[in-house]
Structure 1
Amino acid sequence: MSLPIRPAVQASPDYPFSAITAPVKLDQNESFADFPDELKAIALQRLHTLPWHRYTDLHAEALCDAVARHEDWASSGTVVTTGSNVLISLLVQLAGMGARVLTVKPNFALYGLDAQLLGASLTEVPLRPDFSTDVDALIAALGEAPGRGVVFVPRPHAPTGSLCELDELERLAQACRDGWLLVIDEAYHHFTEHDARALARRHPHVVLLRTFSKAWGLAGLRLGYALAGDDVARQLRKLVPPFGVSVLQTVCALVALENPGYLRQRIALTLSERARVFEALRSHPQWEVIPSQANFLLVRTPDAEQAHAALLAQGVLVRRQDRLHGLEGCLRVTVGTVAENDAFLRAAGLSP
C-alpha cells in the first residue's frame, strides 16, 4: 500500500532531539526556575472563574494587546501563536514557498526543516570562524535566483551565543527591501543589551520573533509572538489557525505580563551566573569556552561524545552540538541555578 505522503515529508529527518533524564538538566536553554508559585495561584484562580466551554479569542486579541503594551509595539502588528517555532513555519508559508529560505549555518534546525517540508529552496551561509555573521555573504546570496523569500537571522545566535551587530543588520535589511522578509529570531534577546525593535520600525519587511519559553520560564506553556508591520501581520494572521491560543495559555501569559518583576530578577541572575561559569571554564586545561550573549555557553572539547558521556555519568545533562557545521567537539551548556552550575563545574573537573 502506498500512502499519499508528499516526498518532501518522507525525505525530511525527524527533529534532532532525544529526551534524556538527569538530575541536572542543562540541555534545552530553559529558564533555571519555574513560573513563581504565587503567579500560578493567581492564574489558576482566574481560570476557575472563566468558562471553559466557550471558544477563546479568534487570534488571541487580548493577549496581543498585553504583549504590545509590554513591547511598546502596535497591537495591529503583534501576532501570538503556540510557540515561535510555529511562526517560523508560517513565515516560510507566507513568503518562502516556491521561493527561498536563506539563513546562516549552523542554525536552529527548524529553519531548514520547514524549508524542506514546504518546498522552499534552502541556502545556508556559514558563520565566520569567529562565529560572527557574514552579512556580506548573505547579501551576495540574495542575488541568486529566485530573488525572493525569507531570511532568518537568530540574534543572539543559537547555538553559539554570538551577536550580529545592529548596523550589520541594517545593511542586510536594506538589501532585503525587494522581495524578501528579514526575520530576526530574538528568542534570547533578554540576555543581551540591545534588541532590534528600532530596526523593525524602520523597515516594514523586518519581522521579530520572541518567545515565552526562555527568560519568562513558560516553556511548557508553548507561546511565542511576532512583532511586525501592520501589512505583514495582517497577511501572517491569515495563516494562523483560528482560536489556536487556549484560555489556559492566555491567562498564564497575561499574569506573567502583569508581573514582570520576576523576569528582571531572573535575567540579572542568569547574566551573573553566565559570567561566573564563563570565567571558571576559561581555566579548563582542555576545553575552550566561547563568549555568549544568550543564556547558554558553547564549549569546544577534544571529544564531544566522551565529554558528554562523562558529564552525564555524574548526573549533568548538556547538549551535543558537534554534528553541526563548524562545531566539531562542541557542547552547549544552559546557564542554570547556582547549584546546577556548581554541579556542572565539578563534573567538568573544576572547583566552583
Structure 2
Amino acid sequence: MSLPIRPAVQASPDYPFSAIEAPVKLDQNESFADFPAELKAIALERLRELPWHRYTDLHAEALCDAVARHDGWAASGTVVTTGSNVLIALLVQLAGMGARVLTVKPNFALYGLDARLLGAALTEVPLHTNLGTDVDALIAALDEAPARGVVFVARPHAPTGSLCGLDDLERLARACQDGWLLVIDEAYHHFTAHDARELARRHPHVVLLRTFSKAWGLAGLRLGYALAGDEVARQLRKLVPPFGVSVLQTVCALVALERPGYLRERVAHTLRERERVFQVLQTHPTWQVMPSHANFLLVRTPDAAQAHAALLAQGVLVRRQDRLHGLEGCLRMTIGTAAENDTFLRTAGLSP
C-alpha cells in the first residue's frame, strides 16, 4: 500500500533529540528555575474564574498587547503563537515555499528542517573558523539564484553562543531589501546587552523572533512571538491557526509580563554563573571553552562521546554537538543553578 505522503516529508529526518533522564539536566538551554510559585498561584486563581467552554482570543490579542507594551513594540506588529518554532515554519510558508531559505551552519535545526519539509531551496553558509556569523558570505549568497525568500540569523547564535554585530546585521538587512525577509532569532536576547529592535524598526522586511521558553522560565507553556512591521505581521497572521493560543497559555504569560522582576533576577544570576563557569573551564587541561552571549557554554573536548558519557555516568546531562559542521568534539552545557554548575565542574575534574 502506498501512502500519500510527500517525498520531502518522507526524506526528512526526525528532529534530532532523544530524551535522557539525569539528576543534573543541562542539555536544553531551559531556565535554571521554575516559574515562581507565587505567580503560579495567581495564574491558577485567575484560571478558576475564567470560562473554559469559550474560545479564547482569535489571535491572542490581549497577550499581543501585553507583549507589545513590555517589549516597546506596536501591538499591530506583534504575532504570538504556540512557540517560536511554529513561527519558523510559518515564516517559511510566508516567503520561502517554492523559493529559498538562507542561513548558516551549524544552526538551530528547524531552519533547515522546515525549509526541506516545505519545499524551499536551502543554502547554508558555514560559520567563520572563530564560530562567528560570516555576513559577507551570506550577502554573497543572496544573489546565487534569482529566487528570493527567507534569511534566518540567530542572535545570539545557537549552539555556539557567538554574537553577530549590529553593524553587520545592518549591512545584511540592506542587502536583503530586494525581495528577502530577514528573520533575526532572538531566543537568547535577554543575555546580551543590546537587541535588534531599532534595526527592525528601520527595515520593514526584518522580523524578530522571541520566546518565553528561555529567560522567562516557561518552556513547558510553549509560547513564542514575532515582532514585525505592520504589513508583514498582517500577512503572517493569515497563516496562524485561529484561536491557537489557549486560555492557560494566555493567563500564565500575562501574569509573567505583569511581574517581570523575577526575570531580571534570573538573567543576572545566569550572567554571573556563565562568567564564573567560563573562568573555571578555562583552566581545564584539555577542554576549550568558547565565549558565550547566551545561557549556555560550548566546550570543545578531545572526544565528545567519551566526555558526554563520563559526565552522564555521574548524573550530569549535557548536549553533544560534535555531529554538527565545524563542531567536532563539542559539547554544550546550559547554565544551571550554582549547585548544578558546581557539580558539572567537579565532574569535569575541576574545582568550582
Amino acid at match of 1:271: L
Correspondence for 1:317? 317
Correspondence for 2:43? 43
Deviation, structure 1 residue 132: 1.1
Deviation, structure 1 residue 192: 0.5
2:151 is paired with a residue whose SS is strand
- Report the Cα distance in structure 2 between the residues aligned to 1:137 and 1:275, rounded to whole angstroms: 31
How do 1:16-165 residues align onto structure 2 when only pairs under 5 Å count?
Answer: 16-165=16-165
1:123 is paired with a residue whose SS is strand
Amino acid at match of 1:330: C
Amino acid at match of 1:155: R
How do 1:177-216 residues align onto structure 2 when only pairs under 5 Å count?
Answer: 177-216=177-216
- Report the Cα distance in structure 2 between the residues aligned to 1:5 and 1:227, rounded to whole angstroms: 34
Matched, 1:259 2:267: no
- Report the Cα distance in structure 2 between the residues aligned to 1:217 and 1:72, rounded to whole angstroms: 21
Amino acid at match of 1:58: L
2:32 is paired with a residue whose SS is coil
Kept in 2: contact 1:100–1:146 (CA 8 A): no
- Report the Cα distance in structure 2 between the residues aligned to 1:322 and 1:133, rounded to whole angstroms: 19
User: What CA deviation, in whole Å up to 9, does each residue of 1:1-20 have, x standing for no partner?
Assistant: 00000000000000000000
Kept in 2: contact 1:99–1:146 (CA 8 A): no
Correspondence for 2:345? 345
User: What CA deviation, in whole Å up to 9, does each residue of 1:250-275 have, x standing for no partner?
Assistant: 00000000000000000000000000
- Report the Cα distance in structure 1 between the residues aligned to 2:282 and 2:175, rounded to whole angstroms: 39
1:277 is paired with a residue whose SS is helix
Correspondence for 2:242? 242
1:92 is paired with a residue whose SS is helix
Amino acid at match of 1:144: E
2:98 is paired with a residue whose SS is coil
- Report the Cα distance in structure 2 between the residues aligned to 1:244 and 1:145, rounded to whole angstroms: 36
1:67 is paired with a residue whose SS is helix
Correspondence for 2:334? 334
Matched, 1:12 2:39: no
Comparing 244-253 and 130-139, the one that deviates more: 130-139
Amino acid at match of 1:203: H
Kept in 2: contact 1:34–1:218 (CA 8 A): yes
Deviation, structure 1 residue 147: 3.4
Normalising by structure 1, what TM-score? 1.00
Kept in 2: contact 1:155–1:189 (CA 8 A): yes
Correspondence for 2:175? 175
1:302 is paired with a residue whose SS is coil
Amino acid at match of 2:220: G
- Report the Cα distance in structure 1 between the residues aligned to 2:146 and 2:277, rounded to whole angstroms: 45
- Report the Cα distance in structure 2 between the residues aligned to 1:299 and 1:252, rounded to whole angstroms: 35
Percentage of identical aligned residues: 87
Deviation, structure 1 residue 145: 1.3
Residue segments in structure 2 that go unaligned for 5+ positions in a row: none
Q: How many residues align?
A: 352
Amino acid at match of 1:72: G
Residue segments in structure 1 that go unaligned for 5+ positions in a row: none
User: What CA deviation, in whole Å up to 9, does each residue of 1:287-336 have, x standing for no partner?
Assistant: 00000000000000000000000000010000000000000000000000
- Report the Cα distance in structure 2 between the residues aligned to 1:324 and 1:121, rounded to whole angstroms: 20
1:101 is paired with a residue whose SS is strand
- Report the Cα distance in structure 2 between the residues aligned to 1:228 and 1:176, rounded to whole angstroms: 15
Deviation, structure 1 residue 166: 0.1
Correspondence for 2:278? 278
Matched, 1:232 2:223: no
Amino acid at match of 2:194: H
User: What CA deviation, in whole Å up to 9, does each residue of 1:190-216 have, x standing for no partner?
Assistant: 000000000000000000000000000
- Report the Cα distance in structure 1 between the residues aligned to 2:191 and 2:146, rounded to whole angstroms: 36
User: What CA deviation, in whole Å up to 9, does each residue of 1:119-177 have, x standing for no partner?
Assistant: 00000000000011111100000001133100000000000000000000000000000
- Report the Cα distance in structure 2 between the residues aligned to 1:18 and 1:347, rounded to whole angstroms: 22
1:207 is paired with a residue whose SS is strand
| Runs of 4+ more than 6 Å apart | none
